[in-house]
Each structure stands twice: as structure tokens, then as C-alpha cells.
Amino acid sequence: MPAILRSLLLCAMIAVAPARAQDAPEMRAIQVSPHAWYVQGQSALGSKANRNFISNAGFVVTPAGVVVIDALGSPAMARQLLATIRAITPQPVKLVILTHYHADHIYGAQVFKQAGAVIVAHELGRDYLGSETARLRMQASIDEGLTEPGTQVIAAAPWLAGSASFDLGGTRFEAMHVGPAHTVEDLAVYFPDEGVLFSGDLVFRGRVPYVGDADSRRWIESLDRLLGLPAKLIVPGHGPHSTEPRADLQLTRDYLAYLRQAMGKAARELTPFEEAYAATDWSRFEALPLFKQANRMNAYNTYLLMEQEK
Ligand SMILES: [Zn+2]
């Protein structure tokens, strides 16, 4: 028996009282197939008011427990997610798959760990754990009230060395390593019985993607790989689910390709970034939420990447 399965079977069920923080935003479970749901974060930056509820989390109910995909951006929201799951099924959460180590997807993980769940993620996420970036981000998130004091970045146990299959109560899950893309450690989780793909942040819907220091060339390659799956439905890392996976994967793909094309040209021709940015026609994307907050930094990071690639 694989170690992960053994640990799943052994892990204890601990009851956690559902508690909804007074000032936390509403949460509603959206059912996308007979056994799969998700909760949808706001298309906004993290704030004290939204408790960093700016990304999605998915869950699948099996006869032997619940599998959760991503843990939300604060323990407060994770407690609310746990209460939301409890309203749907008495099954305990047995497994949490973290798609990547970005604050809005992981700050709630300790709640599931305390509830007895096994937390898994790709091992390349381990570098984030002890990093200065992680420490500064946590401090800023606590100072700004996005998350509460005492929030921790939880290590996965076990870390996955690559893609992995899980079987819980006869239900199969494929955790596919699709990084480096949005991050080096990106996992996408496929639930083949019902054709549901939890894409993590490889797919953003309803807002401009956060590119950060992503490897956009390989991100595009990974999107092409996901397009090869027979998924009927995608639950993205941000934004509403999609019943037209092909069209909706395309928006993220087109945005990345456009950044690369525009900034690649500028880098090759040694046009200074400011000049190139001002001269680029952004009209196709500027109506998307968070364009103002994210596009310039995305373009700048892509400019630096393209300077290295050329
Ligand atoms: Zn992310």
C-alpha cells in the first residue's frame, strides 16, 4: 500500500467547531458535478474586509472522506470552508492538496491539519517555506489584517516528488505537476470520474492573471497539456468555474502570449520598458478586473524574462 494511502487511512478524525468570524465575507458552496464543489474568492486584492478570500478552494466528497484542493488565504476563511463542507457531508476532510505556495491558497492550511487532514504539495514548494519572501509576506498580511496573528505556513507531509495518483474510497484523483508555470511547484488536480479539473493558478478567470516571476513560456506549454485532458469543467484558482474549458484556458494563454510578444519585441529592440509599455495596445485586456493593479508589473516581469530569454 502506498505510504500516502496508509497515512490517509490512519489519520484521525477530529471535530472542529465551525465558527464564522463576524467580519468575514459570505461563503457559498457551488456544486459543479455530483460529488464536486468549490467556493469562489473575490476578484480583488486581499484586504481586512475580505480576509484574503481572493482565491478559490475546491472539494470532492468520496465515500471515505473529503478531498480539498487549496486551503484559502486565512485560517478564518478555512474554518468557514470547513463549516461549509460539514453542512454538505458528515465525512471528515482526509486530504488537502495545495496547488502552490502562494499566500491566498495556503494560509488556511493549519486549520485542516489540526482537523486531521494530510496536507500534500509538490516538493518544489518547500523552498518557499523558510524564505525571506514568505516571512515578509506573512508579516505584512498580519499587519494589514488579512490574516490573524499565529498564522503559519504549513509544510506538506508528504511532499510529492512529481505527479501522483490518490485513491480515496474508490475515487481517483490525479495531482499533476504542471510547473514551472505560474510557480515552479504548480499542481493541477484532475477528478476523472466526473471530468472536473481544478487548475490552480494556471487558469485565472474574470481578472488579469498574477504573473509574478512565472516562467510564461512553460506556463503556455502546461496550458496546452491541460487542453489535452477530456475535462468537462474547470474550477480555476480565481474566478468562476468554466463549462467551456477550451475557450477559458485560451484567455490566460492569450494574455501570456501577448505579454511575451509585446515585451519580447521591446527587449530585442532594446526599447526601454516605460516606452514600450506606453506604446503597447492593451485594449483587449484593460476592461478585466485588476488590470490597473497587475498589468504593469506583469509586463515588467515579462520584459525582464524576455531579456534573459533573447
Ligand atoms: Zn498564485
User: Could you read off the pLDDT of 29-80 as tens digits, one per residue?
Assistant: 999 999 999 999 998 899 999 999 999 999 999 999 999 999 999 999 999 9
CA 1 – ligand 1 centroid, Å: 33
pLDDT of residue 14: 29
| Residue 100 Cα to ligand 1 middle (Å) | 7
Look at residues 187, 159, 154, 183 and name the one whose alpha carbon lies nearest to residue 173: 187
- For residue 269, report the distance from its CA to the centre of ligand 1, in Å: 31
Determine the distance separating the centroid of ligand 1 and the alpha carbon of 135, expressed in angstroms.
17
Give 99 Cα–ligand 1 centroid separation in angstroms.
9
| Core vs surface per residue 164-186: b (16+ CB within 10 A) or e | bebebeebebbbbbbbbbbbbbb
Compute the distance from residue 25 Cα to the ligand 1 centre, in Å.
Answer: 21
pLDDT tens column, 164-185: 999 999 999 999 999 999 999 9
Residue 277: φ, ψ to 5°: -65, -45
Q: Given 3-state DSSP classes, what are the helix, strand and coil percentages for the chain, each rounded to the nearest 5? A: 35, 20, 40
Give residue 210 CA to ligand 1 midpoint distance, Å: 7
CA of 182 to the centre of ligand 1 (A): 7
Percent of the chain at pLDDT exceeding 90:
80
Task: Give ∠ CA 162-248-124 in degrees, rounded to 5.
Answer: 20
CA of 201 to the centre of ligand 1 (A): 5
Instruction: Please tell me the pTM assigned to this model.
Output: 0.85
